[in-house]
């Protein structure tokens, strides 16, 4: 699955939240097929597999003193390894004990920077340094690794999906999205047609070899579970200890993913409002049913009469939906969300809610020459939403025609509004984002199944607003007997950072190879999401 960003807000603001970034919906590029070469030993690819990484202290503000940075060079196109290269940014915390190699992390998105994620959230993974170098990376098209951008197309995307009435004129919406797709292609450079997960998984194997590991040890969150599953399908003999937390779907089309996201966020919102109204400071009072009605009314009133902001742009109901959706990813953010909503309701001040939304837009973009690393200050502010769109659509083979979109849009509106009066419209606009982009690959949907690999640990969280628990069960069945499921009976997106039980079981597997029985659980089914200890 993927991180939900308010397109409108993310194109206007640049406020960063230090949390694991998981995601959902996107846009794309030309169809990509997995090539037949397995990498190492394939003519033209040996030079990439034979490289070594030069590590040095990371430069820049907010970089921990003990974090080292490096890069690895990969082919732009694995089918034509002499047709250009990309440099991918890496960061690592060195092992403090006897090292058994490296464990690579992917924080999700798609579009999340692994270098930034490790710099900001590295403390979560310090126990793993008892046996590993812990390595984060910026995937192709992300962060310092040839970042994609939509430039002025970001504004066109915002305008095309900004109002409810806009969706009632699908022909004009689709025209604007086609124009925006062309802007994204112009501002993203040659990486855009090769940005999908199939190529990113090939990059993982080059990293594995450059790090000196015979097998890939890996911990992926949300979208990172899709990347890990694709790697396991491409390189089953090179899978080491692999953990997939917040398991993404491998088969559902974007329309169904969007509905799942709307339902999941609605359920998480109801749990939040139940928790909020049990306290004395909830801005919606002490009745959860009344609170749900008030939330719907608040969104509608802000869409009709937005509030001014310090950024000079109005704060709309859809901006509110995007901010609340981000905050619902972690139960630890609930108290801050309640205080931020109180500021809005009681004082008409949206500034605290704006802090939940990350992203922005900037152009023109100054690019590194020949696929080299981009300087941090030159990363486009809209890189995260632009990469999210590009990667998700690159992975999606469905491209309905304009006639099909026009014919189905009204029924889709009804289904999304039934799923959630708060999040339905927001999710529906995201589903349209692939229009105007080339058809994506069918490799993931058709080929990532029935794997013959060592055991992999799949973690699903019952109250996950982004990747519903049923996706963990379905993906485990699809991957086959190698998939071991851990049922986290808690709240929030992914389990590693929120549940001590999950954290311990994941670390025990990665460090010692100790797997829980498939179907075992952590936590309790308490809807408030308390981690009640270890289940059976």
Which residues contact residue 190 at a Cβ distance below 8 angstroms, ignoring those fewer than 6 apart? 76, 84
Q: What does the pLDDT read at residue 351?
A: 92
Q: pLDDT (tens digit, 9 = 90+) per residue, 473-502?
A: 999 999 999 999 999 999 889 999 889 999
Q: What does the pLDDT read at residue 166?
A: 58
Which residues contact residue 480 at a Cβ distance below 8 angstroms, ignoring those fewer than 6 apart? 449, 450, 451, 452
Greater pLDDT, 431 or 373: 373
Helix or strand (DSSP H, E) at 417 = helix 402-419
Provide the CA 213 distance to its chain's centre, in angstroms. Answer: 26
CA distance 301 to 193: 41
| Confidence class for position 285, pLDDT limits 50, 70, 90 | very high
Mapped onto helix, strand or coil, the DSSP state of residue 487 is strand
Q: What does the pLDDT read at residue 34?
A: 41
Q: What does the pLDDT read at residue 33?
A: 39
Q: Check pLDDT > 90 for residue 158.
A: no
Q: What does the pLDDT read at residue 38?
A: 60
Please check whether residue 158 is in contact with residue 11, taking contact to mean a CB–CB distance below 8 angstroms.
yes
Mapped onto helix, strand or coil, the DSSP state of residue 63 is coil
Please check whether residue 144 is in contact with residue 373, taking contact to mean a CB–CB distance below 8 angstroms.
yes
Tokens 């899978």 locate to 239
Question: Which of 34-38, 349-353, 404-408 is predicted least confidently?
Answer: 34-38
**How far from 198 is each of 140, 238, 294, 354, 365, CA to CA, in Å?**
11, 16, 44, 35, 26
Tokens 């396991």 locate to 232
Greater pLDDT, 139 or 152: 139
Average pLDDT, the chain: 86
Q: Please state the rounded mean pLDDT for residues 269-294.
A: 94
Instruction: Kindly state the percentage of the chain with pLDDT values over 90.
Output: 65
Q: What does the pLDDT read at residue 14?
A: 30
**How far from 155 is each of 167, 183, 218, CA to CA, in Å?**
16, 10, 37
* Antiparallel, parallel or unpaired: β 102-106 and 67-75: unpaired
Helix locations, 278-378, DSSP H: 288-304, 317-327, 334-347, 351-354
Q: What does the pLDDT read at residue 28?
A: 31
Q: Please state the rounded mean pLDDT for residues 64-75.
A: 95
Q: What does the pLDDT read at residue 6?
A: 37
Tokens 């970034």 locate to 21
Greater pLDDT, 3 or 245: 245
Which residues contact residue 76 at a Cβ distance below 8 angstroms, ignoring those fewer than 6 apart? 83, 84, 85, 86, 190, 191, 194, 371
Q: What does the pLDDT read at residue 368?
A: 56
What backbone phi and psi angles, to 5 degrees, belong to 87? -100, 135
Closest CA to 530 of 473, 472, 489: 489
Q: Check pLDDT > 50 for residue 532.
A: no
Q: pLDDT (tens digit, 9 = 90+) per residue, 121-149?
A: 989 999 999 999 999 999 999 999 999 99
Helix locations, 110-196, DSSP H: 114-121, 153-160, 170-188
Q: pLDDT (tens digit, 9 = 90+) per residue, 306-345?
A: 999 887 778 999 889 989 998 998 888 999 999 999 999 9
Residue 289: how many CA atoms within 13 Å on its side-chain side?
0
Residue 525 tokens read as 């089914």
pTM: 0.87
Q: What does the pLDDT read at residue 296?
A: 96
Q: Check pLDDT > 70 for residue 36.
A: no
**In sequence order, what E strands does 169-235 have?**
216-221
Q: Check pLDDT > 90 for residue 358.
A: no
| Confidence class for position 420, pLDDT limits 50, 70, 90 | very high
In DSSP notation, 260-301 reads HHHHHHHHHHHHHHHHHHTSS--TT-S-HHHHHHHHHHHHHH
- Per-position b or e across 224-263, b if 16+ CB within 10 A of its CB: bbbbbbbbbbbbeebbbbbbbbbbbbbebebbebbbbbbb
In DSSP notation, 21-51 reads ---------S-----S--STTSTTTHHHHT-
CA distance 426 to 138: 28
Q: What does the pLDDT read at residue 98?
A: 84
Q: What does the pLDDT read at residue 521?
A: 95
Q: Please state the rounded mean pLDDT for residues 67-74.
A: 97
Tokens 């491409």 locate to 234
SS (H, E, C) 375-414: CHHHCCCCHHHHHHHHHHHHCCCCCCCHHHHHHHHHHHHH
Q: pLDDT (tens digit, 9 = 90+) per residue, 388-406?
A: 999 999 999 999 888 988 8
| Confidence class for position 355, pLDDT limits 50, 70, 90 | confident
């Amino acid at each position: 699955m993927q991180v939900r960003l308010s397109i409108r807000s993310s194109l206007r603001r640049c406020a960063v939240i230090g949390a694991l970034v998981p995601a959902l919906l996107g846009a794309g590029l030309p169809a990509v097929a997995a090539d037949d070469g397995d990498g190492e030993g394939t003519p033209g690819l040996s030079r990439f597999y034979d490289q070594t990484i030069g590590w040095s202290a990371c430069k820049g503000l907010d970089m921990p003193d003990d974090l080292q940075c490096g890069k690895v060079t990969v082919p732009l196109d694995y089918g034509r390894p002499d047709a250009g290269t990309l440099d991918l940014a890496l960061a690592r915390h060195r092992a403090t004990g006897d090292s058994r190699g490296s464990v690579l992390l992917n924080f999700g998105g798609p579009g999340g920077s692994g270098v930034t994620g490790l710099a900001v959230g590295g403390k979560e993974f310090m126990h793993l340094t008892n046996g590993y170098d812990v390595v984060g990376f910026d995937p192709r098209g992300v962060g310092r690794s040839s970042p994609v951008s939509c430039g002025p197309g970001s504004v066109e995307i915002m305008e095309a999906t900004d109002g409810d009435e806009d969706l009632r004129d699908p022909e004009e919406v689709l025209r604007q999205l086609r124009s925006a797709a062309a802007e994204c292609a112009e501002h993203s450079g040659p990486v855009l047609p090769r940005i999908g997960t199939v190529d990113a998984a090939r990059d993982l194997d080059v990293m594995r070899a450059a790090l000196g590991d015979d097998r890939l040890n890996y911990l992926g969150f949300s979208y990172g579970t899709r990347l890990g599953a694709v790697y396991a399908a491409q390189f089953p003999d090179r899978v080491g200890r692999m953990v997939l937390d917040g398991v993404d779907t491998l088969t559902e089309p974007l329309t169904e993913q969007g509905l799942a996201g709307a339902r999941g966020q609605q359920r998480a919102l109801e749990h939040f409002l139940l928790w909020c109204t049990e306290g004395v400071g909830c801005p919606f009072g002490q009745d959860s049913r009344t609170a749900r009605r008030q939330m719907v009314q608040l969104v509608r009133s802000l869409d009709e009469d937005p509030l001014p902001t310090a950024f000079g742009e109005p704060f709309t109901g859809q901006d509110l939906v995007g901010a609340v959706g981000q905050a619902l990813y972690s139960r630890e953010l609930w108290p801050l969300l309640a205080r931020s909503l109180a500021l809005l309701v009681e004082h008409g001040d949206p500034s605290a809610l704006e802090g939940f939304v990350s992203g922005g837009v900037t152009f023109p973009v100054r690019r590194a020459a020949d696929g080299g690393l981009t300087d941090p200050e030159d990363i486009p502010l809209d890189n995260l939403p632009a990469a999210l769109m590009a990667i998700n659509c690159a992975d999606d083979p469905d491209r309905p025609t304009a006639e099909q979109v026009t014919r189905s849009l009204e029924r889709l509106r009804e289904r999304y509004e039934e799923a959630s009066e708060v999040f339905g419209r927001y999710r529906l606009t995201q589903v349209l984002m692939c229009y105007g982009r080339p058809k994506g690959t069918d490799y993931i949907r058709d080929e990532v199944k029935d794997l013959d690999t060592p055991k992999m640990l799949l973690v699903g969280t019952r109250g996950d607003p982004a990747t519903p628990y049923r996706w963990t069960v379905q993906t485990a069945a699809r991957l086959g007997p190698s998939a071991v499921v851990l049922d986290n009976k808690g709240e929030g997106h992914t389990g590693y950072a929120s549940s001590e039980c999950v954290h311990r079981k994941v670390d025990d597997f990665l460090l010692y190879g100790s797997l829980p029985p498939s179907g075992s659980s952590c936590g309790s089914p308490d809807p408030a999401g308390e981690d009640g200890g270890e289940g059976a």
